[in-house]
Structure formats: C-alpha cells, structure tokens
Amino acid sequence: MAKIEDLKRKVNAQVDSMKAQIVEMADHIFDHPELSGKEIEAVEYITGALKKQGFDIQKGAGGLETAFRAEFDTKKAGPTVAFIAEYDALPKMGHACHHHIIASSSVNAAFALRQLSDELCGKIVCMGTPAEEAMDAKGIMIRKGGFKGIDAGLMFHGGAKNNTNLIVLAVDGLEFSYTGKSAHAAAAPHVGINALDAVIMLFNSINALRQQLKEDVRIHGNIIKGGDAVNIIPESAVARFYIRSQQRRYLNEVVDKVKNCAKGAALQTGAKLVTSVFEDPGNDLLKNSVLIGEFEENFESIGESIDPEPFLLGSSDIGNLSYHMPVLHPMVKTAADGTALHTDEFKDQGKSDTAYSGMINGMKAVLMTAVRIFADPDFLQRAREEFQKDTMGL
C-alpha cells in the first residue's frame, strides 16, 4: 500500500502542475459548443492533444464519426482503464451540462497518468463518447466493439453538489402507430375506424395504470400524428412515449404493461397497431460500491465532503456502459447550490471558480482511484465480482 499512496501523491502533484492546460482545454471546448453527433472541431482539438502526448488514436471508434479511442500502452501486462470524455453541447444553450469539464478532466487525467507510466502496468485509455444528450452513443459503441478490452470506465459529472448516490433512470422509447379507416366525419362516421381514438384511449389507459406502479416510474408521451382534417375520421395516428424506472428489471415489467394498454386500445377501436422502438434503450446506472468507496476515500482525503442524499440525474447512456463493465460516475460540485442542469444559470457558471475548482478536485479523486486499479489487482477483482453479481441473468 505504501507504493499506492506514493503514486497517489505523485498524481495529485501532476494535476496541480497541469492546472493551466486543464483550464485552457475546458475553456476552448466551452467557447466552441457543438451539437450531438457534430462535434467535429472538439474531436480534432482533443485527439490532436492526445497524439502529442504519444497516444495511439482511433477515430470513429464504435462506428460513430465523432467518437474516438486514444490508447497509451505501458508495454507491461496489466489492466486497461478508460477515462470517459463527453463533449457535446445543448441546442441554443451551449455547455449547460458542463460537458466541457467532463472532456477536459478525462483527457487530462489520461495525460497525468501518462507521466507516471514508468511506474504503471497496463494501458491508459481516453474514450471519446459523443452525443450523450441525444442518443445511446455508448451503447452503439459497445455493440460495435469500441470498448473492447477495457476493464473499468471512470468519469465524473458536474453538478450543484458532490454526490456518489446518483440515480440514472433506465428508459425505453416506444412508438405506437395505429391504422384505422378514413370516412366522412359528418356523412358516414359509422364506416370509419378512428385511429386517433385509439391513441386517446392509450393515454387514458396509461393514466389509469399509474396508480399501480412504483413511485420511481415516469411515463410521458406526445401525439406526433393525429389526423389530417377535422371532418375526416383519422385513418392514422401515432404516439411516442418514454418509459423510465430506477431499475431495468422493473422497467421491463412496466413496458409490458404499457404495451398491453396499447393492445387494448387497438382492440376497443378496431384499429391495427404497430409497436416499434424509436430510440435505443437506456439502462440505469449500476453503482459499483468498490469503486465508489475508493473514490469517496480519495475525495475526502483532499478535504472535500460528499452529500449522501440520492440525486436524480435523469437518464444517460452511462447506464448502458455500467451494464458492460465496472463504472465510476459520481457528481462533483461545479455550480452553486440549487443550480439545475440544462439551464442558462448552470451554463453561466461553466467557467467559474467553483466549476474549475470542482474539476481539479474531481480529477484528483478519479485519478487516485485509477492508481488503485492499476496497482492493486485484488481491488480490481473485487470491482469485477460486484459487477458480475449485479449483471447476473441480464
């Protein structure tokens, strides 16, 4: 353990020596916001910096144009640890989710460990994962081999508090399309089959279903097609829903119930139903207590404290990654208390002292956790065993 503690001190000192370049990278990404899937300039900027540090670059990792995998091999057998970078911005708002901080902290964490590579065994990876705000990019990258061979994924998210008890909701996006029969609504309504009625009944059935569901479930939808003219019985109507829950296992049960509501509406109206998925499913975040415990100890060792209350983050594709490997994904305070994500107020604090102080503190705690993974095989094995237990049967 003496060696591990020495490495932790060294990596903290390395972060302190890099503060100017860490802030510079965050500033650059903040000042050049790009929407999901269009992060061309960010990828060029980041991968250019990684290449200068001796990382091998694979652009388009996992089949996505603005994804990348940057890898530095110590040439000694050991684990492969990835720092997860996100860098997409929100429409009209820019970096109101502080992805500029996620990007700079993960890229520069890889740089910091690169400087200690003579004392480490294994591979240091920075994974560029685009479009977190818009789609399941990480899930796509997993399915296409982008994360192959990685033993653990580490990152932190900015927010209004320090927290390791984040709730990421599992989510399914379903589309229900009804086809009926058009008819003149005044002269011959009796020969028509009203597809819009089916959609309305679906909404009413889901509303009735809510009282039989657990409190963490969220179901929200809208009608994307409801008819062409008031005096024509709608032949076609379509609704889309997000269905969310804190656990994938329970979400699957709820989805089956919602699908039955849709089938019932078709039966009642005589309309034909086609159910499809309009967005890739997202999983809840599996919180690996082994990694979290180490992060908390490291975070507190630099004088920071952690809010123990659960914090609802919403849904994120980090959940899908946590079903693929052990993942660390805490929240670090980068904005004033009570500031909500995805608001102008949160964006306006993106370059504040609070934001960049939190970025440095989060980096140190994540890097110390990475050092433990690299230097303590038993620690990584415990994290793997918990991951295997949590995903058994899924």
Same domain, residue pair 186 and 104: no
């939190």: which residue's tokens?
358
User: What pLDDT is attached to residue 34?
Assistant: 98
Give yes or no: residues 293 and 358 share one domain: yes
The verdict on 6 and 149 lying in the same domain is yes
How high is the pLDDT of residue 113?
Answer: 97
Q: How far apart are CA 382 and CA 373, in angstroms?
A: 10
How many angstroms separate the CA atoms of 318 and 389, rounded?
19
The count of domains in the chain is 2
How far apart are the C-alpha atoms of 206 and 354, rounded to whole Å?
Answer: 43
Same-domain status, 220 and 294:
no
Q: Read off the amino acid at residue 165.
A: N
In a shared domain, residues 155 and 270: no
Shared domain check, 68 and 151: yes
Same domain (yes/no): 45, 161: yes
Task: Give the DSSP H or E segment for 312.
Answer: strand 311-314
What is the rounded CA–CA span in Å between residue 367 and residue 68?
A: 21
Residue 99's CATH number: 3.40.630.10
Q: Examine the domain organization and report whether 277 and 289 are in the same domain.
A: no
End-of-domain residue from the set 282, 306, 332: 282
Domain edge (last residue) among 258, 282, 306: 282
Distance CA 111, CA 259 (A): 48
- SS3 assignment, position 51: helix
Query: Could you give the CA distance from residue 117 to residue 54 in angstroms, rounded to a whole number?
Result: 12
Q: Are residues 93 and 126 in the same domain?
A: yes
Q: Would you say the pTM of this structure is higher than 0.75?
A: yes
Residue finishing a domain among 282, 300, 321: 282
pLDDT of 393: 75
Same domain, 239 and 354: no
Residues with pLDDT less than 70, the chain: 1-2
Same domain, residue pair 31 and 164? yes
Domain that holds residue 229: 173-282
Q: Is beta strand 68-73 parallel, antiparallel or unpaired with respect to 157-159?
A: unpaired
Clarify whether residues 318 and 214 are in a common domain.
Answer: no
17, 80, 85: which is closest to 46 by C-alpha?
Answer: 85
Output the domain CATH number for residue 221.
3.30.70.360
